[in-house]
């Protein structure tokens, strides 16, 4: 399978715990995006990497959120001191283009439930 | 500012009916891209179509067709002879060329239920 993969697919945690999600983009895609989707809504942009550089962050990304892409390949998204409002689907997407129409390929998502 | 509106929250049709999903967008850029994605119950977003702002030609792909009209800032999606497998949430998305990361702005989605 050469698509975008995300792990874990589901995560249940207690409020106050830290969680980390992983995204493996399609090989050689230099752009990687994280989105958050809450129930009944469209995905909302969180952050964007070009290779290993995190170039853009949404205001949705509070101080409790951090994302890395250390070698320009896979990426991790960590949420510290989780809150119930963090419950959502976290989607990762990758794109091969430096410019142009930027088709994004999405992974299956990680569904986070904070109790 | 970018914004995508999908006014239809939910639509139900009976199999074999035609259905049109509406999408209206706002952007200040002259170069932008519009997308439609399908999200079946499994959750993964499936790419359907991409359109750039300079190409207003309508497109047909099998039972799917798209009507892009810059004059009304709309990019509507029609499914002809709908099938139960078309049941899903459909998202319209906008990406601006001058937005550095070209991240997507999604609409809230339209949930389509096709009844047998």
Query: Which chain B positions have a beta carbon within 8 Å of A39's beta carbon?
Result: none
CB contact under 8 A, A101 and B4: no
Tokens of B81: 């002879």
CA B25 centroid distance within chain: 11
Query: Which chain B positions have a beta carbon within 8 Å of A96's beta carbon?
Result: none
- pLDDT tens digit at each of 115 positions of chain A: 579 999 999 999 999 999 999 999 999 888 999 999 998 899 999 998 988 888 888 888 889 999 999 988 999 999 999 999 999 999 999 988 655 566 889 999 999 999 9
- pLDDT tens digit at each of 116 positions of chain B: 789 999 999 999 999 999 999 999 999 888 888 999 999 988 889 989 888 888 888 888 899 999 999 999 999 999 999 999 999 999 999 988 766 666 789 999 999 999 99
Comparing CB atoms, the residue among A55, A91, A107 nearest residue B101 is A55
The verdict on A38 touching B (C-beta cutoff 8 Å) is: no
Q: Are B9 and B111 in contact (CB under 8 A)?
A: yes
Query: Which chain B positions have a beta carbon within 8 Å of A105's beta carbon?
Result: 47
């Amino acid at each position: 399978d050469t698509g975008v993969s995300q792990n874990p697919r589901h995560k249940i945690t207690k409020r106050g715990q830290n969680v980390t999600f992983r995204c493996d983009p399609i090989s050689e895609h230099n752009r990687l995006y994280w989105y958050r989707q809450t129930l009944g809504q469209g995905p909302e942009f969180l952050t964007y990497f070009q290779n290993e550089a995190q170039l853009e962050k949404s205001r949705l990304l509070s101080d409790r959120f951090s994302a890395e892409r250390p070698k320009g390949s896979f990426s991790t998204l960590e949420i510290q001191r989780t809150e119930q409002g963090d419950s959502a689907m976290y989607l990762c997407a990758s794109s091969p283009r430096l410019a142009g129409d930027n088709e994004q390929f999405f992974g299956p998502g990680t569904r986070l439930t904070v109790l | 500012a970018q914004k995508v509106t999908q006014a239809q929250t939910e639509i139900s049709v009976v199999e074999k009916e035609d259905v049109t999903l509406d999408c209206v967008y706002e952007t200040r850029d002259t170069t932008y891209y519009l997308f439609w994605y399908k999200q079946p119950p499994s959750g993964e977003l499936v790419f359907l179509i991409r359109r750039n702002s300079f190409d207003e030609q309508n497109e047909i792909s099998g039972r799917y067709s798209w009507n892009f009209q810059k004059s009304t800032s709309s990019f509507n999606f029609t499914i002809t002879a709908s099938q139960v497998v078309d049941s899903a949430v459909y998202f319209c998305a906008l990406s601006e060329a001058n937005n550095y990361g070209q991240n997507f702005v999604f609409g809230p989605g339209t949930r389509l239920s096709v009844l047998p």
